[in-house]
A and B are shown apart, each in its own frame.
Chain A
Amino acid sequence: MSHSEVTTESRAVRVLLITAAGGVVTLFLLLPLMAVFIEALRKGWEVFFEALRDEAALSAVKLTLTAAAISVPMNTLFGVAAAWAVTKFRFKGRALLISLIDLPFAVSPVIAGLVWVLLFGSQGWFGEWLEKYDLKIIFALPGIVIATAFVTFPFVARELIPLMESQGSDQEEAAVTLGAGGWKIFWRVTVPNIKWGLLYGILLCNARAMGEFGAVSVVSGHIRGETNTLPLHVEVLYNEYQFSAAFACATLLALLALVTLGIKSAIEHFTGHVANGH
């Protein structure tokens, strides 16, 4: 009998290690997730659905969806453009551009929110000018979108840059010699090669856009039913001791996370099969 075992640890050690790993996963990942659902349903389905049907909750969901619906496509566009520029061309300032793409990851979300207040708030650099034309950015939808877009900017580009770097420009060059123009090369050669990475990047970008708390919290102003996104709404409810309602809304965010994970593993499963063929 030939076993393909790599380790020679005794059975007891293996059981111990697996139990320890399982314990950590349960304690830090599963337990909190379960807690969210248990707390949300503690007072029954009635209260659960009541919390979700609440006008402020609906408005928070709507605002969250709106902010994501604007910032995710925007960042997809910018991310693809940035990754394309950085990987297919060599130019002055390329390294700087790559660092700048990472900036939102490096900055604390609170700071990311504060800079917009400093720029567009009533006391900010452009505050007076904006007031003159009656434009509202801070404590309004535009501010929330800008803050969300800023924080989620790197996701798509970060996902694509290593992928496109590893693929090189050979296929694009081949397409050039075959007479294809830039637009055709992009849609018929580049996009098919990056589509799974792109989808994955969009997914992560979306998850973060809907879940973002820090930066949005600074620019939102917490106006109930107006500028509260879903995460902010959860916090407000929690601070008002409406635990069941807070957790009921939190289940939506937890579900978002689960769906994201599900699609992510589906993508990995699928592309894994494709990769095996190579």
Chain B
Amino acid sequence: MSISIHSIHKTFGTYKALEDISLEVPNGSLTALLGPSGSGKTTLLRIVAGLESADPGPGRILFHGENVVDIPAGKRQVGFVFQHYALFRHMTVADNISFGLTVLPRNQRPSRNEINDRVAELISLVKLDGLHQRRPHELSGGQRQRVALARALAIRPKVLLLDEPFGALDAQVRKDLRRWLRLFHDEIGLTTLFVTHDQEEALELADQVVVMRNARIEQVGPPQKIYDHPRTPFVYEFLGNVNKLVTPDGVTRYVRPHEIEVKFAAELDLQTDRLAEVQHLFSAGPVASLSVRADDGQFIEVEISRKQLEEMALSVGDKVALGLPATS
């Protein structure tokens, strides 16, 4: 089910949290709301869920064409996963997952057996077999996250909303869970919108990335397109390492470290290249990164392959020629 957001505004007192937000989340997509803290991404997610209401006005939120602005959160059928999971501490895993089914009005509520079947199905779907009777405090962070996901899925939501889904996990679990969530999404095909401040996460996971800043959307597009063609300096800088270079004629350019070609100083092409001196070498990783100082005093970060580093036998103090990519 697609989500369409049309000119949504939100103010808290005098603080503008969202300004004229419009966005299309295609059916079945995995879309990331990416931005620094305070950019309004979580507020937008909460408004889509109905936990927060948008400022009165012509703003609309459509689930598959149906305006849900006046539908209360409890009737929107959204699956919401909170940053800190918000599991019911006093309930077992199974009771947490079945909560959304047991609070249905009596005439819509499935029988006890149907509920148990559904819980069993969800527990195996999120790979928590054998943990039915555990309580939240007996689970690891990654397990709690998956209980929260199963609980949200139990009500057969139309869309899935995740607030910083990996924010509270440590680095290794984050990576594993991230890959797992991508596969999981492809398996169940539910339209999913998630909030993150981690560009790597957004780029790796999402079909569509929405970059937000200061209550507005800066750019929307597939990860690669956004990474290769950032529309604004902010997006350029936010999406990863970038050198901000001032050309001799005073124009500012943004160049990513891997886009710069490193050659021997003898191969310097005065038309396009710059002479620089290696200041620092870092090669404990898949790629080697160099910190060099150009002849005009600017520091530039460059990435080359380990192989190239070995072949050129560079060390600190060497002079190199930097080939900058042609301006597009």
Q: Do A and B interact with each other, yes or no?
A: yes
A contact set with B: CB distance below 8 Å:
170-171, 173-181, 184, 188-189, 192-193, 277-278
A193 touches B73 (CB 8 A): no
B168 at the binding interface (Cβ < 8 Å): no
CB distance from B90 to the nearest CB of A (A): 4
How many interface residues does B have (CB within 8 Å)? 30
Known: A184-B103, A193-B90. A178 touches B82 (CB 8 A): no
A180 touches B74 (CB 8 A): yes
CB distance from B292 to the nearest CB of A (A): 48
B137 touches A278 (CB 8 A): yes
Residue of B79, B80, B138 contacting most chain A CB atoms (<10 Å)? B80
Known: A181-B74, A277-B137. A176 touches B100 (CB 8 A): no
Q: What is the bound-complex CA distance between A178 and B102, given in angstroms?
A: 10
B49 touches A177 (CB 8 A): yes
Known: A170-B82, A189-B88. A176 touches B103 (CB 8 A): no
Residue numbers in A under 8 Å from B49 (CB-CB): 177
B65-95: contact bitstring with A at CB < 8 Å (1 yes, 0 no)? 0000000011111111010101111100000
CB distance from A270 to the nearest CB of B (A): 13
B99 at the binding interface (Cβ < 8 Å): yes
Q: Top 7 closest A-B pairs, CB basis? A: A178-B100, A170-B86, A174-B86, A180-B103, A177-B80, A192-B90, A179-B74
Across the interface, name the chain B residue whose C-beta is closest to A278: B137
A178 touches B138 (CB 8 A): no
Known: A171-B86, A171-B89, A193-B89. A176 touches B99 (CB 8 A): no
B151 at the binding interface (Cβ < 8 Å): yes
B51 at the binding interface (Cβ < 8 Å): yes
Q: What is the bound-complex CA distance between A232 and B37, given in angstroms?
A: 61
Q: Could you tell me the dominant secondary structure of chain A's interface residues?
A: helix
Known: A173-B51, A184-B103, A277-B138. A178 touches B155 (CB 8 A): yes
B51 touches A178 (CB 8 A): no
Residue numbers in B under 8 Å from A181 (CB-CB): 74, 103
Q: A174-B80, A179-B103, A193-B89 are in contact. List 6 more A-B contacts (CB 8 A).
A: A170-B86, A171-B87, A177-B76, A178-B152, A178-B155, A188-B99
B312 at the binding interface (Cβ < 8 Å): no
Residue numbers in B under 8 Å from A173 (CB-CB): 51, 80, 82, 86
A-B contact pairs, 26 of them (CB 8 A): A170-B82, A171-B87, A171-B88, A173-B51, A174-B80, A174-B82, A176-B73, A176-B74, A177-B50, A177-B74, A177-B80, A177-B152, A178-B100, A178-B151, A179-B75, A179-B77, A179-B155, A180-B74, A180-B99, A180-B100, A188-B103, A189-B88, A192-B88, A192-B90, A193-B90, A277-B135
Residue numbers in B under 8 Å from A193 (CB-CB): 89-90
Q: What is the bound-complex CA distance between A180 and B74, given in angstroms?
A: 7
Across the interface, name the chain A residue whose C-beta is closest to B80: A177
B316 at the binding interface (Cβ < 8 Å): no
Q: What is the bound-complex CA distance between A192 and B155, given in angstroms?
A: 23
Residue numbers in B under 8 Å from A179 (CB-CB): 74-75, 77, 100, 103-104, 155
Residue numbers in B under 8 Å from A177 (CB-CB): 49-51, 73-74, 76, 78-80, 152
Residue numbers in A under 8 Å from B80 (CB-CB): 173-174, 177
Across the interface, name the chain B residue whose C-beta is closest to A167: B89
Q: What is the bound-complex CA distance between A177 and B149, given in angstroms?
A: 13
B137-152: contact bitstring with A at CB < 8 Å (1 yes, 0 no)? 1100000000010011
CB distance from B29 to the nearest CB of A (A): 21
A170 touches B74 (CB 8 A): no
Contact residues of B between 14 and 59, Cβ < 8 Å to A: 49-51
Residue of B76, B90, B138, B151 contacting most chain A CB atoms (<10 Å)? B90
Residue of A174, A175, A177, A189 contacting most chain B CB atoms (<10 Å)? A177
Residue numbers in B under 8 Å from A174 (CB-CB): 80, 82, 86-88, 148, 151
CB distance from B106 to the nearest CB of A (A): 12
CB distance from B43 to the nearest CB of A (A): 14
Across the interface, name the chain B residue whose C-beta is closest to A185: B103
Residue numbers in A under 8 Å from B155 (CB-CB): 178-179
Q: What is the bound-complex CA distance between A189 and B79, given in angstroms?
A: 18
CB distance from B144 to the nearest CB of A (A): 12
Q: What is the bound-complex CA distance between A171 and B95, given in angstroms?
A: 14
Residue numbers in A under 8 Å from B78 (CB-CB): 177
Q: What is the bound-complex CA distance between A278 and B87, given in angstroms?
A: 13
Residue numbers in B under 8 Å from A175 (CB-CB): 88, 99, 103
Residue numbers in B under 8 Å from A180 (CB-CB): 74, 99-100, 103
Q: What is the bound-complex CA distance between A41 and B73, given in angstroms?
A: 66
Contact residues of B between 112 and 154, Cβ < 8 Å to A: 135, 137-138, 148, 151-152, 154
Q: What is the bound-complex CA distance between A210 and B80, given in angstroms?
A: 47
Residue numbers in A under 8 Å from B154 (CB-CB): 178
Across the interface, name the chain B residue whose C-beta is closest to A275: B137
CB distance from B163 to the nearest CB of A (A): 10
CB distance from A197 to the nearest CB of B (A): 13
CB distance from B47 to the nearest CB of A (A): 13
Residue of A175, A178, A189, A193 contacting most chain B CB atoms (<10 Å)? A178
CB distance from A106 to the nearest CB of B (A): 31
Residue in B84, B103, B135, B137 whose beta carbon sits within 8 Å of that of A178 in the complex? B103
A176 touches B75 (CB 8 A): no
Residue numbers in A under 8 Å from B73 (CB-CB): 176-177
CB distance from A250 to the nearest CB of B (A): 41
